Amino acid sequence: MIYNKEKRIKYLGFDDFWFSVVGIFILSIVTSYLFSSTTSDISLLEVALSWVIALMFSAIDWVINRGMMIYLRRKYPEFTDDAKRIVLFFLTITFTVVFVDYIGGKLLSLIPGINYNVNVSRLKMLLPIILITIMTMAIYEAIYYNIRLQKSIRQEERSKQAIVQAQLDVLRNQAQPHFFFNTLNTLRDIIDQNPREDAKKFVDKLSDMYRFILEAGNENLLPLRDELKFARAYIHIQSERFGTNLMVNWHIPETSMDYRVVPMSLQLLLENAIKHNIISKAKPLTIAVVVKDDKLIVVNKIQPKSTQLPSTKLGLVNIQKRYALISDTSIEIHNDGNRFRVSLPLIKVSELKTSHENIDY
């Protein structure tokens, strides 16, 4: 574990090789200074020997404390265990410094010519060493805490994105059967009212629209230009059914084409207008599709049918939920009894919710 770089990074949060080398060196100098003789007649050899002994003790202290630190991190990995783990670690540091000094002193006293006495006075001088070691190991803890915190934030962010993506997938998958349900109703009306050839043409154009749905894939936002192609193809199909009784006025500037909208949102609004209003020679339906103040607005006169076709009631709710997950700007619905208007936000990439920026669009 000490020599393996990958394990050092795994358990410590960073490669601490040079940090350990420098830390042991500094600790040995401080230890040598604290325990060296205050007399001026000590030789250079004695100074060097004192430093070598201090270096040995410092290295042993560092390795043991570092190993205990890794052990405690593995045993108490959660944030809720931090207080317990840190208290145990600091107690371990105190015990290790005293124990290593005591055992090391006993062993050195067996070597002829080395005077190394373990006494109360010496134990008092260990206090600065303990404090310095705790301060050094606290750097480890600060780095470890910051890295874990960043990792926890990233994991939480990924979890939120996964939840949002799952919700978007559900909503997107609702929209497609909704479209299929309503186009089958349209096909039924064409079969009832028109020759077989018209029904065949409708099915052919319908297949082109489903090709668009498949090509859109799993995207949660599309450029307005792509959504307009799909919506215009849908209106072209409906025009075969209603002829000039259905009119759509498009007022879309070229400068708005790169804005994003929720896929099939415009088509769903057009579909709702067609589905819930009378369209006849006596009462033609005109739908206006306009861009104003960075919003895509769909307006139609309310001409309610006396009998309504079966409805899944998913259209507007589906669009509202998808916009709520992707953008801070919600759709606006206004019904004054005469006209029905829905405003869809046109989204720039920079306006996406920060927490959802990594969701594919």
* pLDDT tens digits for range 282-323: 999 999 999 998 899 999 999 988 766 555 556 788 788 878
Instruction: Give the pLDDT of residue 358.
Output: 46
User: Residue 80, CB half-sphere, CA atoms under 13 Å: how many?
Assistant: 0
Amino acid 184: pLDDT: 66
**Do 115 and 209 belong together in one domain?**
no
User: Looking at the structure, do residues 198 and 347 belong to the same domain, yes or no?
Assistant: yes
Classify strands 285-292 and 295-301 as parallel, antiparallel or unpaired.
antiparallel
CA proximity to 201, closest of 247, 158, 229, 240: 240
Lowest-confidence segment of 129-133, 153-157, 230-234 by average pLDDT: 153-157
Predicted local distance difference test score (pLDDT) of residue 309? 55
Q: What is the mean pLDDT of residues 175-183?
A: 58
Specify if 105 maps to a domain.
yes
What average pLDDT does the chain have? 77
Structural contact between residues 236 and 193, judged by C-beta atoms closer than 8 angstroms: no
Give the strands of the sheet with 246-251, arranged side by side: 246-251, 285-292, 295-301, 339-345, 332-335
Domain boundary (129, 156, 183) is at: 156
Is 27 buried (19+), middle (13-18) or exposed (0-12) by CB count in 10 A? Answer: buried
192 vs 294, higher pLDDT: 294
Does 355 have pLDDT greater than 50? no
Per residue in 40-69, pLDDT (tens digit) is 566 677 778 778 888 888 889 888 988 888
Q: Is residue 189 part of a domain?
A: no
Q: What pLDDT, on the 0 to 100 scale, is given for residue 216?
A: 62
| In a domain? residue 58 | yes
Count other C-beta atoms under 10 Å from residue 172's C-beta. 20
Looking at the domain assignment, is residue 151 inside a domain?
Answer: yes
Predicted TM-score of the model (pTM):
0.50
Check pLDDT > 80 for residue 6: no
Are residues 150 and 214 part of one domain? no
pLDDT in tens, 134-149: 888 888 888 888 888 8
Task: State how beta strands 285-292 and 339-345 pair.
Answer: unpaired
Q: Based on the domain organization, do 22 and 114 belong to the same domain?
A: yes
Predicted pLDDT of residue 199: 66
Strands 260-261 and 222-223: antiparallel
Domain boundaries, position 149 = 5-156
Residues 268 and 122 in one domain: no
| CA–CA distance, 263 with 175 (Å, rounded to integer) | 9
Does the structure show a pLDDT above 60 at 83? Answer: yes
Whether the CB-CB separation of 161 and 355 falls below 8 Å is answered with: yes
pLDDT, tens only, 88-130 = 988 998 888 888 888 877 777 777 655 555 554 566 677 888 8
Q: Does residue 247 sit within a domain?
A: yes
- Do 133 and 15 fall within a single domain? yes
Phi-psi region of 113 (alpha: psi -120 to 50; beta: other; left: phi over 0): left
Final residue of a structural domain among 132, 156, 180: 156
Count of beta carbons in the 10 Å neighbourhood of residue 354: 7
What's 347's domain CATH number?
3.30.565.10
In this structure, is residue 142 part of a structural domain?
yes
Burial of 276 (0-12, 13-18, 19+ CB in 10 A): middle
Single out the residue in 134, 156, 178 at which a domain terminates. Answer: 156
- Model confidence at 340, in pLDDT bands (50, 70, 90)? very high
- pLDDT value at residue 237: 77
Q: What is the pLDDT of residue 236?
A: 81
- Do residues 143 and 256 share a domain? no
Domain count, the chain: 2
pLDDT above 70: residue 167: no
Residues 152 and 204 in one domain: no
